[in-house]
């Protein structure tokens, strides 16, 4: 890391942290893509020194890391205020590596019952087979407190949650876990380090789908885990042996994307708030969820914990009647009429992405099960991109005319 960068503003950190190439004889401004699987040693003694951690060498084999990857990790550490970090091949591999680093067979996870469904599927379909079971609790400190018993090893919190952008009182939740020696893992993908840095509230590990706001260009999939040196060393061990390292080219693309991260986040925050405010007033909108709207159930917590509401707005369009069929067709008529946002998965990139949540994430469930999870067929999740806000609002207005 360039000297003194860690203490500078977020834009300076995003551009410079991790990219100190002064020792390279060619002094490249941009950290090169080390496209090599293996690294040579002049002598066996050099190799031994590498293993003894007495040499300055970073890499021996690309599954354990590359200089391109370490530059990205140092940038993320500077953004998140973390002692150490590992990047992984996806957000899912970051979550699984974090859990596997701290949980054993027989230990339990307590997770909020609202969040990214892929995470819950990994917990229920795979970690459960290793004897790591998950207890899902409703959002609230009482429910968390009740669930934290002696076998619980991990408290897993997504903030804000997918798709209703809910928040819990992080400081208090972390304190409940700490009192019992339980590790708190926070998935702050939706907020990104621009809007919240959970380690400052005492969380032990933060995970991100770097695919989203951090990379920001909808062109690569990656993840990260950040925290203390001690915990990250354990996560690094899991990542190295499960082989979920991102390759150097992927890391280069993300480092390039991150240079504009604070500028992009500021624009996402502003545009999404403007769009959420617009939608809330529209007669064809039933309800909007955006943390910075006073109507959001967690507005007060959002004021306390978030710098901005982020780039995601969830909303229900009004339907002819309250049947799921009517809700489904109102939402799909609206989505099909949009010309700027693309109907698709993911979020946090410069291109707007939008979808009907019941179809994109809950299509494998029947309608009754979806409703139990509060997923109505007219619920839409909009990842507000960086197109002109005015163009997006005009596009939404025109599409709402069609229903
Ligand atoms: N966490 C959250 C909150 C997500 O929304 C996602 C993906 O959408 C993930 C984790 C998984 O990330 P990835 O797709 O990079 O594996």
Same domain, 278 and 191: no
Please write the tens of the pLDDT for every residue from 125-138: 999 999 999 999 99
Domain-ending residue, one of 208, 241, 258: 258
Centroid of ligand 1 to alpha carbon of 26 (angstroms): 37
Q: How far apart are CA 316 and CA 380, in angstroms?
A: 6
Atom nearest to 346 CA in ligand 1: 8
Number of domains in the chain: 2
pLDDT digits (tens, 9 = 90+) for 219-253: 999 999 999 999 999 999 999 999 999 999 999 99
Residue 123 DSSP class? I
Q: Which residues of 165-202 are buried (b: 16+ CB within 10 A; e: fewer)?
A: bbbbbbeebbebbeeeebbbbbbbbbbbbbbbbbbebe
How many whole angstroms separate alpha carbon 129 and alpha carbon 117? Answer: 18
Give the Å distance between the CA of 51 and the centre of ligand 1: 34
Expressed in angstroms and rounded, the spacing between residue 21 Cα and the centre of ligand 1 is: 32
| Pair 203, 347 in one domain | no
Residue 212 alpha carbon, nearest atom of ligand 1:
15
251 and 316 inside one domain? no
Whose Cα sits closest to atom 15 in ligand 1? 91
Q: Whose CA is nearest to atom 14 of ligand 1?
A: 91
Gap from CA of 226 to ligand 1 centroid (Å): 16
Atom 12 in ligand 1: which residue has the minimum CA distance?
Answer: 91
Ligand 1 center to 174 CA (angstroms): 22
Which residue, 203, 226, 258, sits at the end of a domain? 258
Tell whether 283 and 391 lie within a shared domain.
yes
State how far the Cα of 215 lies from the Cα of 260, in Å rounded to an integer: 9
**Residue 153 sits in the same domain as residue 277:** no
Quick one: 244 and 270 in the same domain? no
Task: Give yes or no: residues 182 and 247 share one domain.
Answer: yes
Q: Whose CA is nearest to atom 5 of ligand 1?
A: 116
**Residue where a domain terminates, one of 192, 224, 258:** 258
Q: Do residues 192 and 307 share a domain?
A: no
Predicted local confidence at residue 56, as pLDDT: 87
**Ligand 1 centroid from CA 120, angstroms:** 11
* Ligand 1 pocket list (CB less than 6 A): 90-92, 116, 118-119, 158, 162, 187, 189-190, 209, 211, 221, 223
Q: To the nearest 10°, report the CA torsion of 247, 76, 5, 191.
A: 140
CA of 100 to the centre of ligand 1 (A): 17
- In terms of domains, do 123 and 47 share one? yes
Q: 244 and 269: one domain? A: no
Indicate if the pLDDT at residue 2 is higher than 70: no
Residue pair 38/64 in contact (Cβ under 8 Å)? The answer is no
Using one digit for the tens of pLDDT, what is the confidence trace for 343-352? 999 999 999 9
CATH number where 218 lies: 3.40.640.10
Q: Are residues 229 and 104 in the same domain?
A: yes
pLDDT tens-place string over residues 259-305:
999 999 999 999 999 999 999 999 999 999 999 999 999 999 999 99
Q: How far is the CA of 209 from the centre of ligand 1 (A)?
A: 5
Whether residues 298 and 246 share a domain: the answer is no
Distance in Å from the first CA to the final CA of the chain:
53
Per-residue pLDDT of 158-167, as tens digits, reads 999 999 999 9
In angstroms, the CA 382 to CA 113 distance is 21
What CATH number does the domain containing 376 carry? 3.90.1150.10
Model confidence over 328-337: pLDDT tens digits?
999 999 999 9
Hey, which of 99, 190, 209 would you mutate to test ligand 1's pocket, going by the most ligand atoms within 8 Å of its Cβ?
Answer: 209
Phi and psi, residue 97, nearest 5°: -65, -40
Residue 393: pLDDT band with limits 50, 70, 90: very high
Ligand 1 atom closest to residue 190's alpha carbon, by position in its atom list: 3
Three-state DSSP class for residue 395: helix
Decide if 228 contacts 84 (C-beta within 8 A): yes
Task: Tell me what the pLDDT averaged over the chain comes to.
Answer: 96
Nearest CA to ligand 1 atom 11: 91
Residue 369 is part of which domain span?
Answer: 261-401
Gap between the Cα atoms of 265 and 384, Å rounded: 11
Other C-beta atoms lying within 10 Å of the C-beta of residue 64: 17
């Amino acid at each position: 890391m360039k000297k003194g960068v860690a203490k500078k503003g977020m834009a300076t950190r995003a551009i410079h942290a991790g990219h100190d190439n002064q020792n390279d004889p060619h002094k490249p401004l941009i950290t090169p893509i080390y496209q090599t699987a293996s690294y040579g040693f002049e002598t066996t003694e050099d190799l031994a020194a590498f293993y003894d951690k007495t040499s300055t060498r970073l890499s021996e084999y690309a599954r354990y890391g590359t200089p391109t990857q370490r530059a990205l990790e140092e940038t993320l550490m500077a953004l998140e205020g973390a002692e150490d970090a590992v990047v992984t091949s996806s957000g899912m591999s970051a979550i699984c590596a974090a859990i596997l680093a701290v949980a054993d067979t027989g230990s339990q996870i307590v997770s909020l019952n609202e969040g990214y469904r892929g995470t819950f599927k990994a917990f229920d379909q795979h970690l459960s087979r290793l004897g790591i079971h998950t207890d899902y609790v409703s959002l609230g400190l009482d429910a968390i407190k009740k669930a934290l018993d002696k076998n619980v090893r991990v408290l897993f919190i997504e903030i804000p949650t997918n798709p209703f952008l809910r928040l819990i009182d992080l400081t208090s939740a972390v304190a409940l876990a700490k009192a019992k020696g339980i590790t708190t893992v926070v998935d702050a993908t939706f907020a990104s380090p621009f809007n919240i840095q959970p380690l400052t509230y005492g969380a032990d590990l933060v995970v991100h789908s770097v695919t989203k706001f951090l990379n920001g260009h909808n062109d690569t999939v990656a993840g990260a885990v950040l925290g203390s040196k001690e915990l990250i060393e354990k996560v690094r061990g899991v990542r190295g042996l499960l082989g979920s390292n991102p390759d150097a080219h992927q890391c280069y693309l993300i480092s390039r994307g991150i240079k504009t991260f604070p500028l992009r986040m500021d624009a996402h925050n502003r545009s999404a708030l403007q769009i959420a405010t617009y939608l809330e007033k529209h007669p064809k909108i039933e309800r909007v969820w955006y943390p910075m709207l006073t109507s959001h159930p967690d507005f007060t917590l959002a004021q306390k914990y978030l710098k901005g509401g982020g780039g995601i707005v969830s909303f229900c369009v009004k339907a002819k009647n309250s049947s799921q069929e009517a809700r489904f067709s109102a939402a799909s008529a609206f989505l099909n009429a949009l010309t700027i946002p693309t109907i698709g998965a993911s979020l946090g990139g410069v291109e707007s992405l939008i979808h009907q949540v019941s179809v994109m994430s809950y299509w494998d469930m029947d309608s009754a099960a979806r409703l139990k999870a509060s997923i109505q067929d007219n619920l839409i999740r909009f990842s507000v991109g960086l197109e002109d806000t005015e163009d997006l609002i005009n596009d939404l207005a025109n599409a709402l005319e069609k229903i």
